[in-house]
Structure 1
Amino acid sequence: MTEQTPRRQVRFNAFDMNCVVHQSPGLWRHPEDQAWRYKDITYWIELAKLLEKGKFDGLFIADVLGTYDVFNGTNEAPLSSGAQVPVNDPFLLVSAMAAVTENLGFGVTAGTAYEHPYPFARRLATLDHLTNGRIGWNVVTGYLPSAARNMGQEDQLEHDERYNHADEYLEVVYKLLEGSWEEDAVQRNRETGVFTDPAKVHPINHEGKYFKVPGIAITEPSVQRTPVIFQAGASSRGMKFAAENAEAVFVTSPTKELLTSTVKKIRDAAEAAGRDRYDIRIYAMQTIITGPDTASAQAKYEDFKQYVDPQGALALISGWMGVDLSQYDLDDTIGANVKSNAIQSSVETFQKASGDDGNPWTVRQLAEWVGVGGFGPITVGSGAEVAQKLVEWVDDTDVDGFNLAYAITPGTFEDVVEFVVPELQKLGAYQAEYQPGSLRNKLFGTGDRLQSNHRAEQFRLKDSVEA
């Protein structure tokens, strides 16, 4: 009797943001939605406990530093709809959630455009210490012109130049976290009175195009040293950046065909950068509407659709694309000649998207689609039906798992934990228990530190390579 090959595991992150409307404009009005509690730390504590109960890899927290004022050239639509404004800092949530969990990871978004890497590296190290190695950093280069203006710039850097800037930003972070303190620099020797051996702490002497950082890191090595690197850019330049830096990538593709193509490009790029094809965990955005049976799940979905705010959805889409959709009629399609200095992969995806009839989506259809859970696919069905579909997505596209957006919170996540996770576990397609150790080890089983084929290796002190 031949031994059966273990089924590939489906992985989950929860996708949220420290605001009242993340991906579902209008759903804050639903009587069961609790997103308005985003200012209350107990909301985040309860959510963290729920996700750990469901054996999620982590909570992926998005962020922006500007408003979605591309649509109509004003803040009116995002403010009235609550579309990602008001929004609070994501980093300040993590310590409280880490204190009530043991295994849940935290992927926190922070941009490279508006904060110097020296103090930022300290923030990363601090959270890695406080979470005992469960922190990840979602590296974004920025895409909202309003953020650039409020930081004293006329506009953001050109798309590819933002990545050049980010490359050096990460170089500084790697040098600080990997190449400044030797592993045994901290002596804490009561007899000699030496806490840290000065000979084992080294200045990084960085001088580049954008940054000059001559000194030492001011934090001692944490569990992971460098947190798990997340990244979400799927443009050609973004993929090159991901291939060299990312350990987990978040992608948004509305169809299996588009997702399969994107996943292959990322894995090919990782290989071209000298890494293994599976050194990057790829999570695709997905929204799940589920319940005890098909009928109840479909009824929930129909109920949710009644609350969609099209103006809020168009504000989000315009910001992602860098294109003012108010200039289009609702029944127009997005022209092929649209150029963007925002999220180029979003423009490409929206242009390629089509309905069941094979025709390109109109602006109206895009708004309706984004209104419930954002631009990822929506899977509706009983727990067993959803579980089977997710397994098929993984098998058919080579994706590792899903970044789960919500229609309402925490209700959407509660339903996934109650109805979908047990069905995936019955199929042998979902972890029954967490792997030990840091977030990096939970994701890859290769230890707490960055692998030796990662870009950061060239900046690492030789004694810091984990045995």
Structure 2
Amino acid sequence: MSTPPARPLHFAAFVMNTTGHIIQGTWRRPSARQTDFNDLEHWVGLAKTLERGKFDAIFFADVVGLYAPYRGDERRYFEAGLQVPSNDPSVLASAIAYATEHLGIAYTASILQEHPFNFARRVSTLDHASKGRVAWNIVTNYLPNASRNFGLEGLTKHDERYAWADEYVDVTYKLWEGSWEEDALVQDRESGIHAHYDKVHRINHEGPRYKVEGPHLVSPSPQRTPLLFQAGASEAGRSFAARNAEAVFIQAPTLEVAARDTGDIRSRAVAEGRRADDLKFFQGLYVVPASTEEEARRKAAELDEWIDYDAQLSHMSGAVGVDFGHDDLDTPVGEIRTEGVQSIVGWIHDLVTDRPATLRDVAHFTATNNRIVGTPEQIADRLAAWQAAGVDGVNLVNAEIPGSYEEFVDHVIPTLQARGLAQTEYREGTLREKLFGRGDRLPDRHPATRYRGAFAPVGAR
């Protein structure tokens, strides 16, 4: 029986408009340029490199507040450059769109940080400017400081945040899909009619959090609704993704977990009336390539010497809101009695079997989990295994910018292309068309499409 031909994986670059994103401390390496994040040329240059490598997108993470205190305050984040200072990624989108032709531009925006009316307007403008290459990574918020930055007393309860997200996306869907009819904008010089008034509609949304009259101020963009990313791993997050997401960012620790999680969310999507292949899953991975396995392992060991393990631990500590920075890095995990820590780091015992596992081991794992070290051929083998586990693409983590991506484009992509695991040319059209090949707009089975024609006068429907 012949082996079926390989399907190209999708590739995105996982970045943040800051210095220290995922792997802490490597910005200190002489060859690293993460500290140039304020420089627009830094990002435009990276985008051009990614497009040369036929990447599907550049994917910007973001936060709108400081992580929870570590050793009692936020000092460590500032000292380590850990996601502070942090700039708005949406500001970069139009410049990247202008400098590239095909690269998708995905950026994270929390429901917390902007009213949905203005956010919908901003995204539609960017979708026009990029000719349909914008994606929105929908997030709620898990940082108490971010909540207080926007006038809330504290962190909204987890499931309530997803109820909030349901209404937020509902408003944007109404604006993007229902406010303007497809042929409303005519710009007819002869008649002097620019747009047909009776084909543009108020949405008159009234909900628990928002009251939005409309209409949308932007005419239909190439995608109308941007490509929708989501990354929630909780029960509520999975259900939200199943209803709304087109691309799901996962960070599964093993192939088995990836297979379980992708299968679970696809099943939920089918239960929502969608198709299993309406979702594409992007696994967060990091690679260290070299011409020989020995050389790759040497490079990985050198990188490890630059990792700031205390900052790495502070990142995880601050994200989950459990301050275990008062313990020494060499403290055995078993001696830490905080239940929250036990639930997060219990798996480390399965990885360190020859001695008691320590917090340093936990920190090292957060920096190197899902790191693939080897030759381009070995990396290709491993990526094929992730694909077989249900993954459609890779959100590629970096140790250095632009070096991590230049190495991948120059040394790994050619091998992947030769094996059919990476595209050799871009498909024409919008980001949605490039990823799915089914047109520029959301398919009819997506919940946003129920608003198409929903606000026209009854007699005109």
- Shorter chain as normaliser: what TM range? over 0.9
* 2:333 is equivalent to residue 332 of structure 1: yes
| Map of 2:438 onto structure 1 | 446
**TM-score normalised over the length of structure 2:** 0.93
Secondary structure (helix, strand or coil) at the match of 2:449 reads helix
Superimposed CA distance per residue, residues 268-303 of structure 1 (whole angstroms, 9 cap, x where no aligned partner): 111121111121110111010112222222121111
Q: Name the CA distance, whole Å, in 2 between partners of 1:52 and 1:193.
A: 41
Aligned residues: 452
Secondary structure (helix, strand or coil) at the match of 1:14 reads strand
Letter in 2 for 1:435: R
**TM-score normalised over the length of structure 1:** 0.92
Secondary structure (helix, strand or coil) at the match of 2:313 reads helix
CA contact (8 A) 1:71 1:314 kept: no
| Map of 1:394 onto structure 2 | 387
Gaps of 5+ in 1: 340-346
Provide closer, same or farther for how the CA distance between residues 336 and 65 of structure 1 changes in structure 2, counting only shifts above 3 A. same
Secondary structure (helix, strand or coil) at the match of 2:417 reads helix
Gaps of 5+ in 2: 457-461
Secondary structure (helix, strand or coil) at the match of 2:14 reads strand
Superimposed CA distance per residue, residues 173-225 of structure 1 (whole angstroms, 9 cap, x where no aligned partner): 00001000001111111122111111010000100011000120001000000
Q: Name the CA distance, whole Å, in 2 between partners of 1:443 and 1:335.
A: 46
Superimposed CA distance per residue, residues 253-277 of structure 1 (whole angstroms, 9 cap, x where no aligned partner): 2222222222121111111211111
Q: Name the CA distance, whole Å, in 2 between partners of 1:46 and 1:12.
A: 17
Q: Name the CA distance, whole Å, in 2 between partners of 1:181 and 1:350.
A: 50
| Map of 2:243 onto structure 1 | 244
Superimposed CA distance per residue, residues 55-90 of structure 1 (whole angstroms, 9 cap, x where no aligned partner): 111001000011123322311111000011110000
Larger deviation, residues 67-76 vs 136-145: 67-76
CA contact (8 A) 2:34 2:400 kept: yes
Report the Cα offset of residue 417 of structure 1: 0.8
Q: Name the CA distance, whole Å, in 2 between partners of 1:186 and 1:214.
A: 20
Q: Name the CA distance, whole Å, in 2 between partners of 1:170 and 1:113.
A: 12
Report the Cα offset of residue 461 of structure 1: 2.2
Q: Any residues of structure 2 matched to 1:112-191 within 5 Å, and which?
A: 112-191=111-190
Q: Name the CA distance, whole Å, in 1 between partners of 2:249 and 2:22.
A: 15
CA contact (8 A) 2:348 2:361 kept: no
Q: Name the CA distance, whole Å, in 2 between partners of 1:96 and 1:218.
A: 22
CA contact (8 A) 1:26 1:307 kept: yes
Secondary structure (helix, strand or coil) at the match of 1:125 reads helix
Superimposed CA distance per residue, residues 381-429 of structure 1 (whole angstroms, 9 cap, x where no aligned partner): 111111111112211x111121110111111111111111111111122
Q: Name the CA distance, whole Å, in 2 between partners of 1:336 and 1:215.
A: 49
CA contact (8 A) 2:179 2:200 kept: yes
Aligned identity (percent) is 42
Q: Name the CA distance, whole Å, in 2 between partners of 1:272 and 1:350.
A: 33
Larger deviation, residues 292-301 vs 308-317: 292-301
CA contact (8 A) 2:202 2:455 kept: no
RMSD: 2.1
Report the Cα offset of residue 368 of structure 1: 1.6
Which residue, 360, 366, 369 being the options, matches 1:364?
A: 360
Letter in 1 for 2:403: G
| Map of 2:459 onto structure 1 | none
* 2:216 is equivalent to residue 201 of structure 1: no
Which runs of at least 4 in structure 1 moved beyond 6 Å after TM superposition?
none
Superimposed CA distance per residue, residues 335-384 of structure 1 (whole angstroms, 9 cap, x where no aligned partner): 79439xxxxxxx96654455434699643212122235xxx400001111
Secondary structure (helix, strand or coil) at the match of 1:268 reads helix
Q: Name the CA distance, whole Å, in 1 between partners of 2:454 and 2:168.
A: 22
Secondary structure (helix, strand or coil) at the match of 1:371 reads helix
Report the Cα offset of residue 32 of structure 1: 0.8
| Map of 1:8 onto structure 2 | 7
CA contact (8 A) 2:13 2:59 kept: yes
CA contact (8 A) 2:112 2:150 kept: no
Secondary structure (helix, strand or coil) at the match of 1:288 reads strand
